[in-house]
With several copies, the nearest count.
Chain A
Amino acid sequence: MAEQTLFSEKDPSVEERLAAEALIVDVDGFEGPLDLLLTLSRTQKVDLRRISVLELAKQYLTFVNRAKELRIELAADYLVMAAWLAFLKSRLLLPPDPEEEGPSGEELAAHLAFQLERLQAMRDAAAKLMARDRLGRDFFARGEEENVARIKTVTYTANLLDLMQAYARIRTKEDFRPFVMDRDSVFTMEEALDRMRHLLGFTGDWTDLISYLPDGWHSDPVKRRSATAATFAASLQLVKEGKAELRQSETFAPIQLRSLDEDE
């Protein structure tokens, strides 16, 4: 069996080979593997319902092999389809294995034939649709709309595209905005700095840093952590600016702060 398969792949009929070459030249013209399969199926010159999927799989694999020989790069989906068809072909050729799970080769082939028939049906339907009598070409609407302009009201309008674009615009704008978190329990360094600059003048001597925490930020651990960090960072900034000095008697001892301005 397997040898026979190989044989037919390596030595396709002249007709098949010519067809495959013609197709390869045109590979860009196809809309994916299903479209290509549909075109290949036409060479069988039978009703799509009676198509030989095995034959079709062989033709497709021949096509892919020829493309490889000609060093034509095929898109990934063509290769995926080739792998699947090779799998299908082996299922169709080998006697059914009772151990094997999943659908039979015949079921898979029938589904592929259905997909091809459905695609062809939609193409035929599309052609019939486009060939209908059409507005503006075969039949016509009123050319001169009556204008009995007595009441002139302005109606504001918008269509769905406007609406979606507006929403997209807002959301896109948001993408550029700094990520805004729920700020309820965040005390920023800027806020701490403001507060300390203001308070520093009133406290002459060494003062525990913790006493600079704003009211209401002591009890909740999350808030306290944020306020402490911000206040500490702010105090470092003040030291850097030469406006204050810090001291700590030992590791983990309270940190104290004193204004330098007063000394001057």
Chain B
Amino acid sequence: MEDQMMDGPSTSGRTENDTLFDAPPMAEQERMVEAVLFASAEPVTLRDLEGRMPPGCNPREALEHLRKRYEGRGVRVVRLGEAWAIRTAPDLGFLMQKETTELRKLSRAAIETLAIVAYHQPVTRAEIEEIRGVSVSRGTIDQLLEMNWIRLGRRRMTPGRPVTFVVTPEFLDHFGLESARDLPGLKELRAAGLLENRPPPGSLPLGQGDSDDDEPADEQAELFEE
């Protein structure tokens, strides 16, 4: 680690024992102040810096060096009353707008609808309602469309030619999936404890359960494919 230092001969003075008698070189003190200001959750006072740094350090001087170093950079060292902090340069505030989005959990209706689309795509609204056992409000579908997690798929070639829904690349990206086929099947959900460990009545004849077509989710999906 010591080799990270680049300021000449005094570098060697930075070991645990020596610091008692010999403060670290100023360049090293500047590094320390930089790291503390960066990692601290709130502005740091001089006293706090003194308490954290090895004895003999001069945080005030180190701060001055650091402030100069950051002049004209994307962030600045600023003084706020008795404390110091690193802040974005004011002219770059326009870059921070994205940071201010508020995250909220999707509603239960929406996440269930999304799950059904993901597992059964392409799927019509009527099929979603059939699987959920309750009707799906227009708002729920609209929300998922607007979030770009589902989109309209091909129309079903059945009477009424209902539209179908499929998931989008944005959906896969968000959930860290390579494809919707990577979603764990019912068997795996059960193994992961996400399902009651009980086979659905009549679906798994005893003794034949573990052949390779034992993926109810997949089968179900195929049911809905054209």
- Contacts A157-B105, A166-B114 given; indicate if A132 touches B38 (C-beta within 8 A): no
B174/A134 in contact, CB under 8 A: yes
Partner of A107, one of B111, B119, B176, B201: B201
User: Are A34 and B175 touching (Cβ within 8 A)?
Assistant: no
Asked if A34 meets B102 with Cβ closer than 8 Å, knowing A129-B114, A148-B97, A166-B112, the reply is no
B202 and A103 within 8 A (CB): yes
**Which of B35, B184, B194 has the most chain A CB within a 10 Å cutoff?**
B194
A119 in contact with B132 (CB, 8 Å): yes
CA distance A145 to B104 in the complex (A): 19
A250 at the interface (CB under 8 A from B): no
Chain B residues with Cβ under 8 A from A173's Cβ? 133
A110 to B202, CA, bound (A): 13
Q: Give the interface size bracket for A toward B.
A: 35 or more
Q: Which of A104, A140, A161 contacts B39 (CB 8 A)?
A: A140
Q: In the complex, which residues of chain A have a beta carbon less than 8 angstroms from the beta carbon of B100?
A: 136-137, 147-153
CB within 8 Å: A-B pair count: 271
Q: How far is the CB of B87 from chain A (nearest CB, A)?
A: 5
CA of A145 to CA of B42, assembled, Å: 9
Shortest CB distance A251–B (Å):
36
Task: List residues of chain B with CB within 8 A of the CB of A135.
Answer: 87, 173-176
Q: B194-226 CB contact bits vs A (8 Å, 1 = yes)? A: 111010111101110000000011000000000
Nearest CB in chain A to that of B189: its residue? A168
Chain B 116-153 interface mask (CB, 8 Å, partner A; 1/0): 10110000000000011110000000010111000110
Interface 1/0 per residue, B139-169 and A, CB below 8 Å: 0000101110001100000000000000000
Q: Is A174 an interface residue (CB 8 A)?
A: yes
Which range contains the number of B residues in contact with the other chain?
Answer: 35 or more
Q: Known: A117-B194, A121-B192. Is A146-B99 also a contact (CB below 8 A)?
A: yes
Contact B174 A111 (CB under 8 A): no
**Within 8 Å CB of A133, what residues of B?**
90, 93, 176
Minimal Cβ-Cβ distance residue in B for A38: B133
Beta-carbon contacts under 8 Å, B68-108 to A: 85-90, 92-93, 96-97, 99-108
Top 5 A-B residue pairs of the complex, sorted by shortest distance between their CB atoms: A34-B133, A146-B39, A103-B201, A126-B115, A103-B202
Q: Which residues of B contact A (CB under 8 A)?
A: 35, 38-42, 85-90, 92-93, 96-97, 99-112, 114-116, 118-119, 131-134, 143, 145-147, 151-152, 173-177, 183-186, 189, 192-196, 198, 200-203, 205-207, 216-217
